[in-house]
Amino acid sequence: MSKYSDDEYLQDGDVVINSTGIGTLGRVGFYRSTDNCKNLPIVPDSHVTVIRTYLGIKKFYMYVFMKANQGEFEKKGEGSTNQKELKSITLREMLIPIPPYPEQRRIVVTVTEIFAIISVIEKSLI
């Protein structure tokens, strides 16, 4: 029997945000279960906030929006200089534009295509 409930484990498409620390506060990531080649169960620690979308919101759209606002998250950190924290209430109160689903899909396709182009450029520079 696990000491964690099922919803505490990272799920495919979860957006993760580093919620503590100078220099890393506000960094946004996207969890893909396909990247977990050993299929290990992952429970993020208390320094990571997980954002999970629901019907009507594409997971990668949420990641793209949060990533675009990553710089703002560090500014919203509270606490001492050495241990700033991005409180989950700050993220909950954030207004997020949710375009119609077809528009979200177009945004995701466009960003994915751009990421692929950037990857090709980066590889050519090595």
**Cα 99 from Cα 65, distance rounded (Å):** 11
The count of domains in the chain is 1
Q: Supply the pLDDT for residue 104.
A: 96
Cα–chain-centroid distance for residue 3?
Answer: 25
Question: Whose CA is closest to 26, among 46, 8, 47, 44?
Answer: 47
**Cα 102 from Cα 119, distance rounded (Å):** 26
Q: Supply the pLDDT for residue 21.
A: 82
| For range 67-87, the mean pLDDT | 85
For residue 92, the enclosing domain spans 6-96
Domain-embedded: residue 125: no
| For range 86-108, the mean pLDDT | 93
Domain-embedded: residue 65: yes
Name the token pair of 47.
């320094």
Domain-embedded: residue 52: yes
Residues 6+ apart with CB under 8 A from 30: 13, 14, 15, 16, 59, 60, 63
